[in-house]
Chain A
Amino acid sequence: MQFVRKLVLAVIVVCASLPSLARADDAGLRATLARVATARNFQETEAVVRDLAATGEPAVERILSALADGNLYIRKSGQGVFIGKEDGQTIALADPVAGAAAGTAAKGDLTKVKVNNALRRTIRDAMGGLTLGSDDPAARLSAAGIMLKRPDIAALPALDAAIARETDAKVKAALAQARAATVLVSDLGEAEKLAAIGVLSNRGDSDALAQLTAFRAASTGVLAETAARSVQHIESSMAAWQVAQNVWYGISLGSVLLLAAIGLAITFGVMGVINMAHGEMVMLGAYTTFVVQQAIRAFAPDLFDWSLAFALPAAFLVAGGVGLAIERGMIRFLYGRPLETLLATWGVSLILQQAVRTIFGPTNQEVGAPSWMAGAFQLGQLTITWSRLWIVLFCLAVFLVLVFVMKRTSWGLRMRAVTQNRRMAASMGIRTPWVDAFTFALGSGIAGIAGVALSQIDNVSPNFGQGYIIDSFMVVVFGGVGNLWGTFIGAMTLGVLNKFLEPYAGAVLGKILVLVLIILFIQKRPRGLFALKGRAVEA
């Protein structure tokens, strides 16, 4: 009863507001849509989706996208179907066909129309057909991409029409490729199909490869041979890209290693403190990011994309401050006894871990990615994720700034003077205790900002630092203790090496091999990659 009333009301509303659109088909659409409420399983819902898509009505796009996003609701009493938007404990409803607001309802009164992957895929495919005519070139491009992945013979006329009216060259090419994929599954003639193979062969990526491989398996004669040649062509070009990809992955892993190690290169490499609490400094940076993001989420959600920019100085200060406290409270009593710093910093690392566990709990904390770090872009056949690219760039920036500070500023000069000859530096009027303290704070602070970056790719938990400490020591020692450039080259070498070994040996064996290679390498160069020579060695 209510449904009918609602329907009548909706029709009246629609008719009143958009008289031109109010067509007799609306009723059919509603009737089809109403079947969603009675669908017993995903297959039945899928049938409804197909029927909806078949109507070709513009409203269908809205309905389907709401369904795919899980925003289609059924009222428990009366079975009305609505597009809903969650708003706390209530849901704001909208009429699916007309799009007009239709009041609110409590969560408990509504049932969400469940979707699963298969259904979502069906919706996406259906939407592909619907969005081919979209005004937005990006939507058309993604429609072409979907149709390439899942060619449908029935869509061929629509594609031809779309190509004919397309003005954007990039979209046109994509549509042509989608058409080629469709041609391959159609019953068109050999000439058409040969041309299609050519088009896909030129695309040359894994999607094209998938279509061609499938086609090769299904065809015979000249077509099969041509397809096989194209497959081979694509595979060999992809193999070349594979090398590039490994290099990129290696650099990206290398920069993660470098970021993790760079603070240690100062506290351990330059100052000689066997800093087992280094990992925890990285962890503190990551937790600072979490806290900053929480604050931003609570007080200024609009600034979320800037959260990392706020987190960087905060992490530097937090980790640097803790580092300063550790140096003043403990390490300064231990200079000249490097091995004992190991014991003390190990104790500190246990305390810091447990402190974080007590304050934040033992579970992972969610550190979100700003929108500019999400997703990936294509460079040829290379998928480069933004987060990795930013980390590489960030890592380089941190490294260069640090090198500059150490080599070009008077503060860096003092720092080097103190670490090389404490007594001499002291007698030249350098306040060595403060230089020590700030050097350690600098190393810790850099570890902290590394934590900001690493929180983007790893899970933020109290064990966060433990995962990096061993690798960091390996990198610093491999590169040569006390040499920043050694740390840089060391990190990159280990990263690339790891990534080239991984495809052949697997991740586990690859890692073991890298460790064995480090052991062997140290035999050859007992003081790392960039060792100091001459009399300085004895010091």
Chain B
Amino acid sequence: MIARRLFSSDRRIAVTIATLLAAAVIVPVLNLAVPADSVFHMPSYVVALVGKYLCYALLALALDLVWGYCGILSLGHGAFFALGGYAMGMYLMRQIGPRGVYSHPTLPDFMVFLNWKELPFTWWGFSSFPYAMLMVGLVPGILAFVFGWFAFRSRVTGVYLSIITQALTYALMLAFFRNDMGFGGNNGLTDFKDILGFNIQSQTTRAVLFSLSVLALMAGYLVARAIVTSKAGKILIAVRDAEARTRFLGYRVENYKLFVWTVSAVMAGIAGALYVPQVGIINPSEFSPANSIETIVWVAVGGRGTLVGAALGAGVVNFAKSWFTGAFPQGWLFALGGLFVFVTLFLPKGIVGTFTEWWRTRAAKREPPASAAAEQPAQ
């Protein structure tokens, strides 16, 4: 049944999948097989960069699922992203094994020089890849479930919810900053060697990680789309637009919210897990409230409530950031800040939303008889 929905012959999905699959194959090929002096060669630097954007895109998608479709403005989605990243980072740390600078058989370097004697329980099991992957989803998932369970039943809504999600990520940031937590303090986890036995710095591993990110984004898109196009998706939008009314229709709003919130957190966690091996570091600054706000900005720029828009927004804003910081290191904040103001004022529905609207009006003009009746409000 799920499979049927996922692979229904809908053209939108088909093209999305095709594009993503093509990217998953072509980019690594351009990177690995095409000689470096060819115009078509894609440098590893670009692969890493785009790989990072893809993880951000998945995060943005996750956020759009709760914000765009269910009206929950989370100012703390970075927390789930970072937790997934930490779970992956802990696995990668354990993979280093005795190759750390102190050659300690089990303890990561930062524990050795802070004089820790044994592995804290939080680290148990992370040497196993399946366990770590389970944690990538479970830790953000359970945190989101517990947090959501209380918040949604207490009917914390609107800015109140936004601010407590911000408090959540802020508290986690402060907690992870503490060395006593055993997660490497502000330096975080870094200096990874390999993943599943493959050298993490090799071109091939990078290309594979890139393809995995594409696939994860694709899977995330399909799941998100399956949710929003199902009847449950209609209920989510109903909750977004008129929460009380949905309750009076007999829907248990808190359960819908909890479901989509948890799914979104797991998606964010997976994004984080893919992000860490590609950028090579995870540290508490990923929890910083500003990062979560930035994620909201991506979604808003791309188009809230359009899944593709969220992903696109992440790409556009981060590309702008990468480009501006290199091209105008002194004044790039003017450009980025200006971009946000511009988008809010002139593209209120984001890039995709605005484009969709323009397309629709154009289509309406072109074939007036069929759609005009439906589009025009009756007098």
Verify whether A and B have any Cβ pair under 8 Å.
Answer: yes
**Chain B residues, CB < 8 A from A334:** 344-345
**Chain A residues, CB < 8 A from B340:** 343-344, 346-347, 350
Q: Would A519 and B168 be within 8 Å (CB), given that A340-B344, A347-B340, A508-B177 are in contact?
A: yes
Q: Determine whether the beta carbon of A347 is less than 8 Å from that of B339.
A: yes
**Chain B residues, CB < 8 A from A355:** 334
- Which chain A residues in 492-539 approach chain B with CB under 8 Å? 508-509, 511-512, 515-516, 518-519, 522-524, 526-528, 538
Q: Determine whether the beta carbon of A337 is less than 8 Å from that of B341.
A: no
Q: Would A343 and B300 be within 8 Å (CB), given that A348-B341, A526-B154 are in contact?
A: yes
**A interface footprint on B237-248 (CB within 8 Å = 1, 0 otherwise):** 000000010000
Identify the stretch in A56-64, A95-103, A470-478 within 8 Å (CB) of chain B at 4 or more residues.
A470-478
Q: How many angstroms between the C-alpha atoms of A474 and B167 in the bound complex?
A: 8
Q: How many angstroms between the C-alpha atoms of A436 and B296 in the bound complex?
A: 26
Most buried by A among B163, B177, B334, B343: B163
Q: Determine whether the beta carbon of B337 is less than 8 Å from that of A477.
A: no
**A interface footprint on B30-57 (CB within 8 Å = 1, 0 otherwise):** 0000000000000000000000000000
Q: How many angstroms between the C-alpha atoms of A334 and B340 in the bound complex?
A: 14
**Chain B residues, CB < 8 A from A512:** 171, 174-175
Chief secondary structure at chain A's binding surface: helix
- Which chain A residues in 151-188 approach chain B with CB under 8 Å? none
Q: Determine whether the beta carbon of A351 is less than 8 Å from that of B338.
A: yes
Most buried by A among B338, B340, B344, B345: B344
Q: Determine whether the beta carbon of A330 is less than 8 Å from that of B341.
A: yes
B293 to chain A, nearest CB (A): 6
B289 is an interface residue with CB less than 8 A from chain A? yes
Q: Determine whether the beta carbon of B168 is less than 8 Å from that of A351.
A: no
B99 is an interface residue with CB less than 8 A from chain A? no
B296 to chain A, nearest CB (A): 7
A342 is an interface residue with CB less than 8 A from chain B? yes
A358 is an interface residue with CB less than 8 A from chain B? yes
Most buried by B among A274, A470, A509, A516: A470
**Chain B residues, CB < 8 A from A508:** 174, 177-178
Q: Determine whether the beta carbon of B155 is less than 8 Å from that of A526.
A: yes
**A interface footprint on B287-305 (CB within 8 Å = 1, 0 otherwise):** 0011001001100110000
Q: How many angstroms between the C-alpha atoms of A330 and B346 in the bound complex?
A: 11
Q: How many angstroms between the C-alpha atoms of A17 and B301 in the bound complex?
A: 83
**Chain A residues, CB < 8 A from B167:** 474, 515-516, 518-519
Q: What bracket does the count of chain A residues touching chain B fall in? A: 35 or more
- Which chain A residues in 299-350 approach chain B with CB under 8 Å? 330, 333-334, 337-344, 346-350
Q: Determine whether the beta carbon of A351 is less than 8 Å from that of B337.
A: yes
Q: How many angstroms between the C-alpha atoms of A526 and B147 in the bound complex?
A: 14
Q: Determine whether the beta carbon of A477 is less than 8 Å from that of B343.
A: no
Q: Determine whether the beta carbon of B338 is less than 8 Å from that of A343.
A: no
- Choose among B151, B244, B301 the residue that contacts A523 (Cβ–Cβ < 8 A): B151
Q: Determine whether the beta carbon of A522 is less than 8 Å from that of B159.
A: no
Q: How many angstroms between the C-alpha atoms of A522 and B150 in the bound complex?
A: 10
- Which chain B residues in 134-157 approach chain A with CB under 8 Å? 147, 150-151, 154-157
Q: Determine whether the beta carbon of B166 is less than 8 Å from that of A473.
A: yes
B120 is an interface residue with CB less than 8 A from chain A? no
**Chain A residues, CB < 8 A from B150:** 523
- Which chain B residues in 319-346 approach chain A with CB under 8 Å? 330-331, 333-334, 336-341, 343-345
B73 is an interface residue with CB less than 8 A from chain A? yes
A52 is an interface residue with CB less than 8 A from chain B? no
- Which chain B residues in 193-225 approach chain A with CB under 8 Å? none
A277 to chain B, nearest CB (A): 10
B80 is an interface residue with CB less than 8 A from chain A? no
Q: Determine whether the beta carbon of B336 is less than 8 Å from that of A350.
A: yes
**Chain A residues, CB < 8 A from B296:** 342-343
Q: Determine whether the beta carbon of A346 is less than 8 Å from that of B297.
A: yes
B119 to chain A, nearest CB (A): 23
Q: Would A515 and B336 be within 8 Å (CB), given that A342-B296, A477-B159 are in contact?
A: no
A245 is an interface residue with CB less than 8 A from chain B? no
Most buried by A among B73, B170, B178, B296: B170
Q: Would A276 and B334 be within 8 Å (CB), given that A337-B348, A511-B174, A522-B160 are in contact?
A: no
Q: How many angstroms between the C-alpha atoms of A508 and B164 in the bound complex?
A: 18
B3 to chain A, nearest CB (A): 36
A354 is an interface residue with CB less than 8 A from chain B? yes
Considering the complex, give the chain A residue whose CB is closest to the CB of B294: A346
Q: Determine whether the beta carbon of B159 is less than 8 Å from that of A481.
A: yes
Q: How many angstroms between the C-alpha atoms of A358 and B330 in the bound complex?
A: 8
Q: Determine whether the beta carbon of A528 is less than 8 Å from that of B160.
A: yes
Considering the complex, give the chain B residue whose CB is closest to the CB of A526: B156
**Chain B residues, CB < 8 A from A358:** 330-331
Q: How many angstroms between the C-alpha atoms of A346 and B336 in the bound complex?
A: 10
Q: Would A516 and B331 be within 8 Å (CB), given that A347-B340, A523-B151 are in contact?
A: no
Q: Determine whether the beta carbon of A354 is less than 8 Å from that of B341.
A: no
Q: Would A515 and B333 be within 8 Å (CB), given that A343-B300, A477-B160, A526-B155 are in contact?
A: no
Q: Would A470 and B166 be within 8 Å (CB), given that A343-B343, A512-B175 are in contact?
A: yes
Q: Would A470 and B289 be within 8 Å (CB), given that A508-B178, A526-B160 are in contact?
A: yes
**B interface footprint on A261-277 (CB within 8 Å = 1, 0 otherwise):** 00000001000001010
A353 is an interface residue with CB less than 8 A from chain B? yes
Would you list the 3 A-B pairs with minimal beta carbon distance, nearest first?
Answer: A347-B340, A350-B337, A354-B333
15 sampled A-B residue pairs with Cβ under 8 A: A330-B341, A333-B345, A338-B159, A341-B344, A343-B301, A344-B344, A347-B339, A347-B344, A477-B164, A508-B178, A515-B171, A515-B174, A519-B147, A523-B150, A523-B154
Interface residues of B, Cβ cutoff 8 Å to A: 73, 147, 150-151, 154-157, 159-160, 163-164, 166-168, 170-171, 174-175, 177-178, 244, 289-290, 293, 296-297, 300-301, 330-331, 333-334, 336-341, 343-345, 348
Interface residues of A, Cβ cutoff 8 Å to B: 268, 274, 276, 330, 333-334, 337-344, 346-351, 353-355, 358, 466, 470, 473-474, 477, 481, 508-509, 511-512, 515-516, 518-519, 522-524, 526-528, 538
